[in-house]
Structure 1
Amino acid sequence: MSDLFTKSRADAPEGFFACEAAGLAWLRVPGGPRVVEVRGVGRTHLDLERLQPARPTPSAARALGRRLAVVHDAGAPAWGAPPAGWDGDGFFGPLDDSLPLPTGAWADWPSFYAEARLAPVAEQGRERGALEPDDAALLGRLAERLPDLARPALDDSPARLHGDLWSGNVLWAAPVTSGSGEAAPAVEAVLIDPAAYGGHREADLAMLALFGAPHLDEIVAGYQEVHPLARGWRHRVALHQVYPVAVHAVLFGGGYRTQLRSTVAALLDDR
């Protein structure tokens, strides 16, 4: 079997694979999580190392949490900043129907989340007929409440985010042998398929919770060992999940639209 895994699509959006490669390179920091290695990139393809799957363990999950905190702490130039080596908007969603992910430099997290995430996805939903005017109005009301709902996490600085860290974008694999003679872990987490940008550290953790990452409690515990989260972070998980749920509502409709409405309504009722 080849040691390469190739993602390809002849009609891929312009820059899709180059943006992904830039994101993978940006996430690779000393002490951070293992990131899948890029072997080659072109307009219509991305060549990656082929990983040997393994079963996740609690110790590997805790290690992922510690390493995720390290890459977050590596920081970003601004809220909404693209990964180094990429100067355009990013992409969010499946290759065959990804949505543009606005990048730029916002002064604070509420402004970024309102202007670069909630407003665009509301417009995308309107254009596709996936969201109703009432849905857009709900998202607009949520945007107005962000400074209040985000406290006391507003003092944080922009983190270096994976950006699409649902459980399917964390592969559990046999580790690369170092040849140092030291005992190696039986399995380690490997990050794939980022939508990297400068954002709030709680967003990656909220994505892991959205679709149920294995041993999530261990991931969070490991994270807190390196960088304790701001008071009340559990109450903000749903806030950070609004954007990915809204994207799913736009792309797939159905129950995601219902989930979006109930999530936003609950946040607006939280006094």
Structure 2
Amino acid sequence: MTDALAAVSELTGVPAEQAHRISGSVYEVELADGDLVVAKRHSQPTAVLAEAKSLDWIAEPGVLPVPAVRGHNDHWLVIEQIEPGTPQDAEALGRGLAELHLSGAPAFGSAPPDGPANAWIGLAPMANRPVDSWPEFYASQRIEPYLRRTTLPPGPFEAVCARLAELVPNEPPARLHGDLWSGNVHWATDGRAWLIDPAAHGGHRETDLAMLQLFGCPLLERVLGAYNEVYPLAPGWQARVPLHQLFPLLVHVLLFGNGYASQTISAARAALRA
């Protein structure tokens, strides 16, 4: 706790009075002026920088609320604290995600401005290097690096990589949250959804939406319906959900073991049937 208090005081310029652990190395800290902030400790400096620049980048269009960055250094990120509430305004989330994606990115694989090429998704390393096409990006930066570090049979995944150009419609690079599972959608006291813990990069917009569906999301049908009204999805997008879920599933196999192996292999086989 002492380290968190010292880091928050230094980075915000306001004395930190008390802290309590939320989980792991994440703390809620009360400042002397009565404000509350969240302090997150990372062992890797690039992880702090990647998350700080991701938050700035997805906040830039102003279409969805994102916690403000109060300060960061090599190991600590301090952000605005948002009081939790219950899910209500699903339509605003759907419309906001559509507008966020429409705001675009310079290329597939592009990092946020001033963000590191060697970034992180959770505790797993994640490369962000611009390339010309989404199939090249998804194969070389989102499937192959993780597959090599697992014991999964490579066949289904190699088959997917070989057919990416025909499986997914060609679209311009979207500005992605990048780790949009339901736990990173924080519903506030006014019922609005805030985006937290991003791993932002330029990618295919269906990847964000597929990740949102991976572990369930409150009011999901309303979210997707509102999204589709603003930025209609290409025909067959539902069948492509398993393809876009391969990336987060491979990350889960890497971080948490082969308990996710069967689901990941099934997703690869489903992707080939899309």
Q: Aligning the two structures, in what range does the TM-score lie when normalised by the shorter sequence?
A: 0.7 to 0.9
2:7 corresponds to: none
- Per-residue deviation, residues 172-195 of structure 1 (Å, max 9, x unmatched): 013xxxxxxxxxxx3211111011
Give the 5 Å matches for 1:206-245: 206-245=210-249
Contact 1:163 1:195 in 2 (8 A): yes
1:86 corresponds to: 115
3-state SS of 1:40 partner: strand
1:105 aligns with 2:134: no
Q: What is the rounded CA distance, in whole Å, between the counterparts of 1:190 and 1:249 in structure 2?
A: 27
Letter in 1 for 2:38: F
Structure 2 counterpart of 1:146, from 124, 139, 164: 164
3-state SS of 1:225 partner: helix
Letter in 2 for 1:81: S
Q: What is the rounded CA distance, in whole Å, between the counterparts of 1:168 and 1:149 in structure 2?
A: 29
Structure 2 counterpart of 1:258, from 246, 256, 262: 262
Structure 2 counterpart of 1:41, from 63, 72, 77: 72
Q: How far apart are residue 30 of structure 1 and its match?
A: 3.7
3-state SS of 1:198 partner: strand
1:4 aligns with 2:29: no
Q: How far apart are residue 31 of structure 1 and its match?
A: 4.3
Contact 1:173 1:188 in 2 (8 A): yes
Give the 5 Å matches for 1:51-200: 51-57=82-88, 60-93=89-122, 98-125=123-150, 131-132=151-152, 134=153, 136-150=154-168, 153-154=169-170, 156-174=171-189, 186-200=190-204
Letter in 1 for 2:106: P
Contact 2:242 2:270 in 1 (8 A): no
Contact 2:61 2:103 in 1 (8 A): no
Q: How far apart are residue 138 of structure 1 and its match?
A: 2.2
- Residues 53, 234 of structure 1: CA spacing in aligned structure 2 closer, same or farther, 3 A cutoff? same
3-state SS of 1:190 partner: strand
Q: How far apart are residue 20 of structure 1 and its match?
A: 0.3
- Per-residue deviation, residues 4-37 of structure 1 (Å, max 9, x unmatched): 111114xx11321111000000001344111111
**CA RMSD of superposed structures (Å):** 1.4
Letter in 1 for 2:205: R
Q: Which runs of 5+ in 2 are unaligned?
A: 1-28, 31-35
Contact 1:82 1:89 in 2 (8 A): no
1:23 corresponds to: 54
Count of residues in Structure 1 that have an aligned counterpart in Structure 2: 241
Q: What is the rounded CA distance, in whole Å, between the counterparts of 1:172 and 1:110 in structure 2?
A: 33
Q: What is the rounded CA distance, in whole Å, between the counterparts of 1:50 and 1:233 in structure 2?
A: 35
3-state SS of 1:35 partner: coil
Q: TM-score, normalised by structure 1?
A: 0.85
- In terms of fraction of residues, the more strand-rich structure is 2
Which fold has the larger relative contact order, with Cα–Cα distance below 8 Å and residues 6 or more apart in sequence? 1
Q: What is the rounded CA distance, in whole Å, between the counterparts of 2:234 and 2:131 in structure 1?
A: 21
Q: Which runs of 5+ in 1 are unaligned?
A: 126-130, 175-185
Q: How far apart are residue 254 of structure 1 and its match?
A: 3.3
Q: What is the rounded CA distance, in whole Å, between the counterparts of 1:224 and 1:238 in structure 2?
A: 19
Q: What is the rounded CA distance, in whole Å, between the counterparts of 1:31 and 1:117 in structure 2?
A: 28
Contact 1:118 1:140 in 2 (8 A): no
Structure 1 consecutive aligned stretches of length 4 or more whose deviation exceeds 4 Å: none
Using the aligned pairs only, state the percent identity: 43
3-state SS of 2:193 partner: strand
Q: What is the rounded CA distance, in whole Å, between the counterparts of 1:31 and 1:103 in structure 2?
A: 23
